[in-house]
A and B are shown apart, each in its own frame.
Chain A
């Protein structure tokens, strides 16, 4: 199975900050990567798929980049509603796997 690391595991930031979360794969996955946002007590929500395609309805301050083994989620101007945990997921190889998560909290 493909495993992944996310860094940082915890990110303290302020509203208006530009934040970047990294996801690194144990092997190449082309662009078969998704990013999800999860708030406490809620289901994950898809933000980005195919590494860089913004899901319909997701604000444009979210963006994704990368291919192969290294991927990045960027929030250009952090809003109060963006404080949450973010997960990457690969769907290139069976079984599908998720990263351990990055919690973005208030500085």
Chain B
């Protein structure tokens, strides 16, 4: 199985700062990667699909990049509502998720 690792586990930042989240695959996965945001009590939200395509309704401050084994989710300027958990997912069977990165207030 292809495993995903995410770093850092926790990212402590202030509103207005830039957040850079990393997701690394154990093998080449082309662009088959998605990013999700999770908040307590809410439905998870798709942010990015195919590594770099923003999902419908996602603000432009969210961007994804990468190809092969190394991927990045960037939030250009954190809004208060962006403090949440973020997961990457390999979009091929068995569709594993990474362990997640928590973005919290510094």
Q: Do A and B bind each other?
A: no
Interface residues of A (CB under 8 A from B): none
Interface residues of B (CB under 8 A from A): none
